[in-house]
């Protein structure tokens, strides 16, 4: 019987299933580097990523060219060469910020053909100048239909320009991606789905910051994968993108490497949804994962954090402070969800908040398990618990193997 199990083990791990492997494009493991963070670029473990995004360039309101703050310019100019030292295959993108406060500039720019042209040419020149392989437009929210028609036009023109520049320069075409709201619609305004699908390499959904202590006066999850109470959650967002006709195979799931701390109105009422009176610990309550872990270590006698698999989130309470965040269990569950839903990959915000690469290693490991690609040397490193978990997932993902299992069991009787 033991020999049979060994055989089974090898069959499950090494039998290639053509239909699964050959149609599977390599999965995107992306992460943002925020140039305002303390993290040193050479400390980024770029082997854990396929794509790294350097954030942010801004749009100059007087000429619609990209502008990079002089204080961080050095980081942009060394980014690509530095992260390629550890992983020569990593692809880098320049991220352009057009969040809420910058949106009037952005929407007035895309409303005028000559301004769009200035922006497009400047974005391509800037990306090439600093050695990036692509451009990310980050933070545009669904807006009124005239704005979205202009966005549709911008994306068409941008793609044409990027293709033409590649031809002219005989370099490979720059990637063009957008980081969008977790829903394709907001206040009855909707993104130009078709144009986004046609012109962009992928869309990254910002699947976090749903409930934050500066706005909500009750504790709640900021990045729940599911919510039985129908609060904002990632699964419902992904379903909306699908319903809107967007291909899930062009969608990349955002993973937050931060959480939020609320101040409870009554420390004895620390349930989810309990009354709260604003942020705790930091000005807006946001805390990077690394900071959360060190904060928790400084209160060793307080209640231990719990993982809630219903919502896919970690919680903990320290006196009057209620914190929710994604720990290893949550990021692994989210990556499994993204894989099993046919998404294109994940995108971390932001890599500098990881704690000694614990989260990134966990997701990369999870992907290897899900793709059945663990190198044989790694198998001895798996605990038996993880082994059975992996085995279950492999069987679950590959119905053909259930058949093999049945045959083997039948023959062993
Ligand atoms: C860079 O400049 C933009 C706009 O000019 C500003 O909003 C932003 O805070 C600056 N960022 C840093 C890191 O200095
Ligand atoms: C924006 O462009 C104007 C005009 O070229 C220039 O004078 C100004 O310094 C630029 N601002 C920034 C923040 O780069
Ligand atoms: C730009 O927007 C204004 C209204 O804000 C509109 O009157 C104008 O026609 C628009 N221009 C173009 C080129 O779409
Ligand atoms: C590429 O070259 C053509 C012909 O010289 C020119 O019209 C076009 O503007 C160039 N495109 C870019 C993006 O430089
Ligand atoms: C929270 O805000 C709502 C609406 O703004 C208000 O009705 C309610 O009293 C507030 N609750 C607390 C505990 O402050
Ligand atoms: C998750 O939290 C909800 C709300 O507090 C609770 O009802 C549920 O039992 C929890 N589930 C698990 C698995 O802990």
- What tens digit of pLDDT does each residue of 255-267 get? 999 999 999 999 9
Q: How does pLDDT run across 333-382, given as a tens digit for each residue? A: 999 999 999 999 999 999 999 999 999 999 999 999 999 887 765 554 44
The answer to whether the CB of 37 is under 6 A from ligand 1 is: no
Atom of ligand 4 nearest to the CA of 168: 1
Whole-number Å distance, alpha carbon 69 to ligand 1 midpoint, is: 6
Distance from C-alpha of 59 to C-alpha of 162, rounded to nearest angstrom: 18
More confident position, 60 or 399: 60
Q: Whose CA is nearest to atom 6 of ligand 3?
A: 111
Mean pLDDT of 308-318: 97
Residue 390's pLDDT is: 47
Residue 303's pLDDT is: 74
Please report, for the chain, the start and end positions of each structural domain, with discontinuous segments joined by +: 16-256+326-384, 385-413
Treating both helix axes as pointing N-terminal to C-terminal, what angle do 145-169 and 103-110 enclose, rounded to 10 degrees? 70
Nearest to 109 by CA among 67, 79, 169: 67
Q: Kindly compute the dihedral angle of the four CA atoms of residues 105, 109, 110, 111, in this order, to the nearest 10 degrees.
A: 100
The answer to whether the CB of 309 is under 6 A from ligand 6 is: yes
Residue 46's pLDDT is: 98
Whole-number Å distance, alpha carbon 216 to ligand 5 midpoint, is: 9
User: Of the residues 165, 167, 169, which should be mutated to test ligand 4's pocket, given the most ligand atoms within 8 Å of the CB?
Assistant: 165
Secondary structure (3-state) at 34? strand
Q: Please report, for residues 70, 127, 181, 276, the alpha-carbon distance to residue 266 in angstroms, rounded to integers and kept in the order given.
A: 46, 51, 33, 8
Asked if 310 and 228 touch (Cβ cutoff 8 Å), the reply is yes
Q: Looking at the CA of 270, name the nearest ligand.
A: 6
Q: Residue 276 forms beta bridges with which residues?
A: 264
Peptide bond into 350 cis (omega under 30): yes
Residue 19's pLDDT is: 32
Distance from C-alpha of 401 to C-alpha of 88, rounded to nearest angstrom: 36
Residue 295's pLDDT is: 96
Residue 378's pLDDT is: 57
Mean pLDDT of 170-199: 97
Whole-number Å distance, alpha carbon 58 to ligand 2 midpoint, is: 11
Q: Whose CA is nearest to atom 2 of ligand 3?
A: 111
Q: Whose CA is nearest to atom 11 of ligand 2?
A: 60
Q: Please report, for residues 233, 356, 400, the alpha-carbon distance to residue 228 in angstroms, rounded to integers and kept in the order given.
A: 9, 33, 33
Atom of ligand 4 nearest to the CA of 165: 13
Q: Looking at the CA of 161, name the nearest ligand.
A: 4
Q: Residue 205 forms beta bridges with which residues?
A: 180, 253
Residue 379's pLDDT is: 52
Residue 324 clears pLDDT 60, i.e. is over it: yes
The answer to whether the CB of 393 is under 6 A from ligand 5 is: no
Residue 287 clears pLDDT 70, i.e. is over it: yes
Sign of CA dihedral 241, 242, 247, 253: positive
At residue 407 the predicted structure's pLDDT band, cuts being 50, 70 and 90, is very low
Give the up-direction half-sphere exposure of residue 228: CA atoms within 13 A in the CB hemisphere. 6
Whole-number Å distance, alpha carbon 68 to ligand 1 midpoint, is: 8
Residue 396's pLDDT is: 45
Nearest to 91 by CA among 131, 125, 123: 131
Whole-number Å distance, alpha carbon 155 to ligand 3 midpoint, is: 18
Whole-number Å distance, alpha carbon 357 to ligand 1 midpoint, is: 27
Average pLDDT, the chain: 89
Residue 388 clears pLDDT 80, i.e. is over it: no
Instruction: Identify the CATH homologous superfamily for domain 16-256+326-384.
Output: Glycosidases (3.20.20.80)
Asked if 335 and 367 touch (Cβ cutoff 8 Å), the reply is yes
At residue 99 the predicted structure's pLDDT band, cuts being 50, 70 and 90, is confident
């Amino acid at each position: 019987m033991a020999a049979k199990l060994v055989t089974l083990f090898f069959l499950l791990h090494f039998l290639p299933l053509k239909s699964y492997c050959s149609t599977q494009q390599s999965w995107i493991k992306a992460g943002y580097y925020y140039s305002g963070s303390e993290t040193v670029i050479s400390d980024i473990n770029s082997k854990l990523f396929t794509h790294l995004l350097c954030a942010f360039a801004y749009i100059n309101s007087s000429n619609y060219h990209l502008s990079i703050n002089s204080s961080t310019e050095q980081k942009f100019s060394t980014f690509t060469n530095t992260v390629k030292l550890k992983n020569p295959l990593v692809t880098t993108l320049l991220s352009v910020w057009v969040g809420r406060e910058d949106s009037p500039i952005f929407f007035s720019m895309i409303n005028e053909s000559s301004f769009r042209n200035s922006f497009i040419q400047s974005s391509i020149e800037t990306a090439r100048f600093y050695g990036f392989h692509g451009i990310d437009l980050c933070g545009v929210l669904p807006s009124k239909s005239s704005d979205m028609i202009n966005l549709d036009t911008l994306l068409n023109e941008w793609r044409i320009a990027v293709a033409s520049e590649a031809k002219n320069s005989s370099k490979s075409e720059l990637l063009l991606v957008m980081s969008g709201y977790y829903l394709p619609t907001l206040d009855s305004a909707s993104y130009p789905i078709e144009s986004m699908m046609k012109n962009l390499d992928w869309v990254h959904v910002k699947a976090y910051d749903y409930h934050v202590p500066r706005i909500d006066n009750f504790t709640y999850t900021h990045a729940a994968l599911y919510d039985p109470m129908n609060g904002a959650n990632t699964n419902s967002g992904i379903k909306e993108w699908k319903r809107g006709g967007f291909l899930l195979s062009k969608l990349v799931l955002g993973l937050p490497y931060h959480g939020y701390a609320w101040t409870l109105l009554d420390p004895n009422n620390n349930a989810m949804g309990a009354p709260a009176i604003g942020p705790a610990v930091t000005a807006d309550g946001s805390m990077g994962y690394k900071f959360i872990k060190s904060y928790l270590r400084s209160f060793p006698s307080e209640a231990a954090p719990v993982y809630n698999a219903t919502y896919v989130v970690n919680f903990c309470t320290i006196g009057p402070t209620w914190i929710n965040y994604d720990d290893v269990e949550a990021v692994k569950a989210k990556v499994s969800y993204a894989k099993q839903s046919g998404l294109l990959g994940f995108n971390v915000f932001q890599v500098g908040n990881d704690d000694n690469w614990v989260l990134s290693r966990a997701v990369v490991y999870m992907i290897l398990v899900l793709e059945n690609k663990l190198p044989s040397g790694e198998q001895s490193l798996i605990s038996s618990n993880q082994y059975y978990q992996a085995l279950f997932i492999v069987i679950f993902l590959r119905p053909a193997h259930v058949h093999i299992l049945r045959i083997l069991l039948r023959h062993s009787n």
